[in-house]
Amino acid sequence: MNLQAPVPPANRPPRIEVIGVTGMPEITEGDRLGGMIVSAAEGQGTPVETDDLLVVTQKIVSKAEGRTVDLDDVEPSESAQKLAEETGRDPRMVELVLRESRAIVKTDSRRGIIVTETKHGFVCANAGIDTSNVPGDGIVSLLPERPDESAARIREQVSEELPGVTVAVIISDTFGRPWREGHVNFAIGVAGINPIKDYRGTPDAYGEILRVTSIAVADELASVGELVSAKAIGVPVAIVRGYGYEQGPDGVGALLRHRSMDLFR
Amino acid sequence: MNLQAPVPPANRPPRIEVIGVTGMPEITEGDRLGGMIVSAAEGQGTPVETDDLLVVTQKIVSKAEGRTVDLDDVEPSESAQKLAEETGRDPRMVELVLRESRAIVKTDSRRGIIVTETKHGFVCANAGIDTSNVPGDGIVSLLPERPDESAARIREQVSEELPGVTVAVIISDTFGRPWREGHVNFAIGVAGINPIKDYRGTPDAYGEILRVTSIAVADELASVGELVSAKAIGVPVAIVRGYGYEQGPDGVGALLRHRSMDLFR
């Protein structure tokens, strides 16, 4: 039996509730997201409670932090122009991708794909820069500069708004994966929850020691959020209730495999 | 606004419930899992309802299908012995990995890692063969031979047990990922639900057409299941309730990127 997660008695099965937060207003630079989430959740009759975990989609965080760029203001460098030509992409967009990245991981000229390692250490297409769900023609959103701090800030704002209430916050974004079709949501910022649940060294159901498994629960929770927040339907935040997360050390760093340990770059 | 998923009115936020199914007995070959899940859910006061989605962990499916092997009965081939020597692994285990695979994707001799493409088309370590949570020394579990059929069978058994009740079923397994630390659960078998939700061509919140995004909801749902089923705590099944899945074409095939389209093998 796992010491961290004792089996609930048969009459109390483990249960998690995931609630989409609707009714958030259009987000603009400087908005205090924590407060707005608390109000919107209250307004729909599902107030934020202590030990809730909030999954907040990247787009509203970037907007609140002014991380949007008008492509018309971008002057592509020579290397951006070269890569843009190779991949058939907008040179201004490629310029932003290069600025936001510390390494190019892979490009596919035929399909116009540029996979990079962002300055944060995320490996994803286009450095996470996105043209959807941003108001205005030619306006794109960049990832938050320090998503762990963004998550911590929202977490603090919630506690300021609701004294005595402590939550965890995950900022999520939608990335593709090698080998699998379809995108899923990943954690890009983590506050108040250990993003990894480590089963190594704990006995399995037959008393054998589990040697390999540590679970990226923050990524799984980001995916859970996506199922209610979904694209383009005005639900940018999910409340996950009843998941007994471990408060432990937070930050997204524990989820990022070091280059030297990675077989696929 | 998305046509497939209209925004619920503000007073009815989207809501998903995830319930772990406890009290399943030890599974042995020939067990009729659908019936056992229905009984266990009933026994804990959360009977299976129509439109529920069941996430069933691979291990109990493999056990019910007799997909366990005693390593003592395995005769390693010459190529298995060679690869075992290179990677410092048990030659009998390597023999099974090779038998279950159609291609080796990557090996790391220093850390004893063998990533293959299984006969089903999954790219994962050790062809999904697992030594944990299997009773008996030297007994390992192989992936189900045809996980889509396993899922369909469980789905039918539930409807036989509960006439008029239709559910969807996802068989899940825990895989690692490139670039990220920690494992998450992926869908390896899918019945009664379209594993992909395609937003391409639908307008975003600002009326711009979303061009890229299709979401691997079956993988996200597998991850949701993991959060309540967890390792080694006797909760091999999760009921996901309230997620309005699309019944569409099922099967895990839509989640598997064809080799020719994959930048990372």
Asked if B206 lies within 8 A of A134 by C-beta distance, the reply is: yes
User: What pLDDT, on a 0 to 100 scale, did the predictor assign at position B259?
Assistant: 87
Q: Spell out the SS3 assignment of A2-19.
A: CCCCCCCCCCCCCEEEEE
Asked if A132 lies within 8 A of B2 by C-beta distance, the reply is: no
User: What pLDDT, on a 0 to 100 scale, did the predictor assign at position B200?
Assistant: 75
pLDDT band (50, 70, 90) for residue A3: very low
Residue A132 confidence (pLDDT) above 60: yes
Asked if B180 lies within 8 A of A196 by C-beta distance, the reply is: no
Residue B53 confidence (pLDDT) above 50: yes
Q: Cα distance from A116 to chain B (closest Cα, Å)?
A: 11
Flag whether A102 is in a domain: yes
Mean pLDDT (whole number) for A107-114:
91
Who has greater pLDDT, B147 or B112?
Answer: B147
| Reported ipTM exceeds the 0.90 cut | yes
Q: How many domains does chain B have?
A: 2
Q: Are residues B202 and B78 part of one domain?
A: no
Q: Are residues A189 and A98 part of one domain?
A: no
Q: Are residues A247 and A208 part of one domain?
A: yes
Asked if A44 lies within 8 A of B10 by C-beta distance, the reply is: yes
Flag whether B86 is in a domain: yes
Flag whether B12 is in a domain: no
> Residue B113's closest CA among B137, B140, B135, B88?
B88
- Whichever domain contains A203, its CATH number is 3.30.1330.100
Q: Cα distance from A137 to chain B (closest Cα, Å)?
A: 9
Asked if B133 lies within 8 A of A226 by C-beta distance, the reply is: no
Most B CBs within 10 A among A223, A239, A252, A258, hence the mutation to make, goes to A223
Residue B15 has its nearest CB partner, among A11, A17, A212, at A17
Give percent of chain A with pLDDT exceeding 90.
78
Q: What is the pTM of this model?
A: 0.92
Q: Are residues B108 and B236 part of one domain?
A: no
Taking the Cβ of residue B1 and every Cβ of chain A, the question of whether any pair is shorter than 8 Å is answered with yes
Q: Cα distance from B149 to chain A (closest Cα, Å)?
A: 20
pLDDT tens-digit profile of A151-165? 999 999 999 999 999
Strands A15-21 vs B53-57: parallel, antiparallel or unpaired: unpaired
Q: What is the DSSP string of chain B?
A: --SSSPPPPTTS--EEEEEEE--PPPP-TT--HHHHHHHHHHHTT----TT-EEEEEHHHHHHHTT-EEEGGG----HHHHHHHHHHT--HHHHHHHHHTEEEEEEEETTTTEEEEEETTS-EEEGGG-B-TT-SSTTEEEPPPSSHHHHHHHHHHHHHHHSTT---EEEEEEEE--SSBSSBEEEEEEEESS-S-EE-TTSB-TTSPBP-S-EE-HHHHHHHHHHHHH-TTSS--EEEEES-----SS-SGGGGBPPGGG-TT-
Q: Which of B128, B155, B177 is the last residue of a domain?
A: B128
Q: Are residues B229 and B163 part of one domain?
A: yes
Residue A197 confidence (pLDDT) above 90: yes
Buried/exposed B107-142: b ≥16 CB within 10 Å, e otherwise = beeeebebbbbbebbbbbbbbbbbbbbbeeeeebbb
Residue A233 confidence (pLDDT) above 90: no
Asked if B20 lies within 8 A of A1 by C-beta distance, the reply is: no
Mean pLDDT (whole number) for A222-228:
95
Measured CA to CA, the distance from residue B76 to residue B109 in angstroms comes to 18
Mean pLDDT of chain A: 90
Mean pLDDT (whole number) for A48-68:
97
Flag whether A201 is in a domain: yes
- Which chain B residues have a beta carbon less than 8 Å from that of A255? 180-182
Domain of A234? 17-67+144-256
Flag whether B50 is in a domain: yes
Mean pLDDT (whole number) for A231-252:
89
User: What pLDDT, on a 0 to 100 scale, did the predictor assign at position B132?
Assistant: 75
Least confident of A127-131, B130-134, B228-232: B228-232
Asked if A17 lies within 8 A of B19 by C-beta distance, the reply is: no
Q: Are residues A77 and A59 part of one domain?
A: no
Q: Cα distance from A157 to chain B (closest Cα, Å)?
A: 23
Most B CBs within 10 A among A4, A106, A180, A260, hence the mutation to make, goes to A180
Q: Are residues B222 and B198 part of one domain?
A: yes
Residue ranges of B 36-65 with Cβ closer than 8 A to chain A = 43-46
User: What pLDDT, on a 0 to 100 scale, did the predictor assign at position A164?
Assistant: 97
Give percent of chain B with pLDDT exceeding 70.
89
Asked if B123 lies within 8 A of A208 by C-beta distance, the reply is: no
Who has greater pLDDT, A153 or A260?
Answer: A153
Q: Are residues B73 and B63 part of one domain?
A: no
Flag whether A263 is in a domain: no
Asked if A180 lies within 8 A of B257 by C-beta distance, the reply is: yes
Mean pLDDT (whole number) for B141-158:
98
Q: Are residues B171 and B83 part of one domain?
A: no
Q: Are residues B160 and B60 part of one domain?
A: yes
Flag whether A47 is in a domain: yes
Measured CA to CA, the distance from residue B38 to residue B54 in angstroms comes to 10
pLDDT band (50, 70, 90) for residue B10: very low
- Which chain B residues have a beta carbon less than 8 Å from that of A89? none
Flag whether A194 is in a domain: yes
Q: Are residues B233 and B150 part of one domain?
A: yes
Asked if A232 lies within 8 A of B180 by C-beta distance, the reply is: no
Residue A11 confidence (pLDDT) above 60: no
Q: Are residues A199 and A90 part of one domain?
A: no
- Whichever domain contains A112, its CATH number is 3.90.1660.10
pLDDT band (50, 70, 90) for residue A206: low
Asked if A220 lies within 8 A of B221 by C-beta distance, the reply is: no
Taking the Cβ of residue B139 and every Cβ of chain A, the question of whether any pair is shorter than 8 Å is answered with no
Between A and B, how many CB-CB pairs are < 8 A? 286
Residue B5 confidence (pLDDT) above 80: no
